[in-house]
Amino acid sequence: MNFLRNLLASIIGTFITLGLILFLLIVVVFAMSEDEEIVVKENTVLEIKLDKTVKDYAPKSDDPFDEIFGTNNKKMGLNEIINAIENAKYDDNIKGISINSLNINAGISQTKEIRNKLAEFKETGKFVNAYADVYDQKGYYLASVADSVFINPVGELAFKGLSSEVLFFKNLQEKTGVKMEVIRHGKYKSAVEPFLENEMSENNREQISSFLKSIWGEMLNDISESRNISVDELNHIADGLLGRNAVLAVENKLVDGALYWDEYEAKLKHLLGISNEDKINSITLKDYISTGKGRVIESGSDKIAVIYAQGEIIYGKGDEEYIGPELIIKAIREAVKLSSTKAIVLRINSPGGSALASELIWREIELAKKELPIVVSMGDMAASGGYYIACNANKIIAEPTTITGSIGVFGVLPNISTLAENIGINAEQVNTNKSASYSLFEPMTNEFKTVTQEGVEFVYTTFVKHVAEGRNMTFDEVDKIAQGRVWSGVEAKEVGLVDELGGLRTAVIEAAGLAGITDYKVRNYPSYKIDFEERFDGFPFASSKEEMMIKEFGEANYKLYQNLKQFSQITGIQARLPFLVEIN
């Protein structure tokens, strides 16, 4: 009887699932058929708004379920944004660009690359204007490239310099009895410093101060050139918060005027040569990309493969959010196998992660380099494991604002022996051998620490050797600038970890030069495919856990949760950025 009942339940469940899937497919087909064709009209303004998450690579899925769940609308690819602005330069229907700088959801280096492209757009003679009710620092940095920058009369402008905050947990560990056992190499390898100290070490303070000043200096130089304000004056404005409101921002020439939105629209109409009664033809960046403007048409038969490695490095498959050796190695092999591929550009945006996974990717690059020239393009971060997978490329190109280096390793293990003793838990172990072992409920033994330290030292030595070979340096030369030290792109070039400063396009041109080709197409890798089981993991709750948590707790608190989760999931020896970087 139980068998028949279970069989009937399975059959009914299957029919319900199939019916629901069929219904969803019908909804998708109907929704897609109802979409109006997007047309770029004459005399149009392209609206630049970056409130969606900007990823280096965010290919639009052709999976119909992504249309249902709206996944395709929640992110934008940096490569598509750059291509769209490039196409707009030569699009006769696009007369100018309007930047809305509120809520820039891109990193500093991503923002700089977009800003550089907007500066190129201005050279065509078409206008670029910017408006926001409120400017944060990154938003103002982007907007400052415009011909004219405007703010709401009661708006605010944050221009105060960069800062980074690190939390320390030593006292918390002592009070709770829950601690992290740490084994590390590198005097700057301070990802674990918050578990060991109650305050920032001088070495850590030195490196954070150094790369913040370097990135801030790059931003100031760009703003100075665009706004015709000296760097010294900009620092004076930042020190005194002399742009904190619309009146001060206008007075100190950070913006060109304080206007309400309708007044800003009137200025756009004047630039378009239409009357105040006429409606502005405008198109969003997302819609412009959807018309096919997110790619540049290239005619060559030769190809340059651009392989995107973005996110933390984990041991496993990997996906659009995480770098896994399985997916990246597959992409490299596919690119090498095609006879039309003449060079590879590895675009890295990663704080690092698993040392083993980094080594596997490094090895595949070493093999591929025997077949094709390989150029690395660094995005916002290419640090620790991110530098590990970059170090043996033929050329390394970074943005001036890239955070890189961090050549060092560490291991952390949770330990609750004090808590267990305080609450009356006693753990007894039985072993067949005398080898060093570890228990969550017992203090770390000297034998286990010694063995683990050997492992950390081995990985560090291997890491430094790889860098020395890849960068044509001696071991001691690399060790001197390693030790977990973080560098900006500018600093990394000065110490020999980077060859050239520039964006992804610079790297592609360099790769073409190494391959000896001038007429080529760019092909993007890897292909992110979600199988049926993964697609319906957690179904029928279609909203992702990420979306629900952000909605309930807010973006800032969700990021804090992610940081804590990342540390809780660390396994094995890590080549990871020495702290969680949140630059404000």
**Residues labelled as active-site residues:** 189, 384
Return the structure tokens found at 368: 């591929």
Cβ 119 vs Cβ 128: under 8 Å = no
Residue closest to 361 by CA, chosen among 305, 316, 321? 316
Dihedral, CA atoms, 265, 268, 269, 273, nearest 10 degrees?
A: 170
Q: Kindly state the DSSP code that residue 279 receives in the 8-state scheme.
A: P
Neighbours of 565 (CB within 10 A): 9
Length in residues, the chain: 584
Left, alpha or beta for 2 (phi > 0: left; psi -120 to 50: alpha)? alpha
Cα-only R_g, the chain: 26
Q: Kindly state the DSSP code that residue 540 receives in the 8-state scheme.
A: T
Cα 218 to Cα 89, 252, 295, 406: the distances in Å are 26, 20, 29, 21
Neighbours of 537 (CB within 10 A): 9
Residue closest to 341 by CA, chosen among 309, 308, 374? 374
Task: Measure the CA–CA gap between 207 and 493, rounded to whole angstroms.
Answer: 16
Tell me the DSSP string of 89-149.
HH-TTEEEEEEE-SS--S-HHHHHHHHHHHHHHHTTT-EEEEEEEEE-HHHHHHHTTSSEE
Residue closest to 573 by CA, chosen among 195, 313, 198, 200? 313
Return the structure tokens found at 221: 């130089």
Cβ 57 vs Cβ 327: under 8 Å = no
Cβ 58 vs Cβ 77: under 8 Å = yes
Task: Measure the CA–CA gap between 515 and 510, rounded to whole angstroms.
Answer: 9
Cβ 583 vs Cβ 559: under 8 Å = no
Q: 3-state DSSP call for residue 392?
A: coil
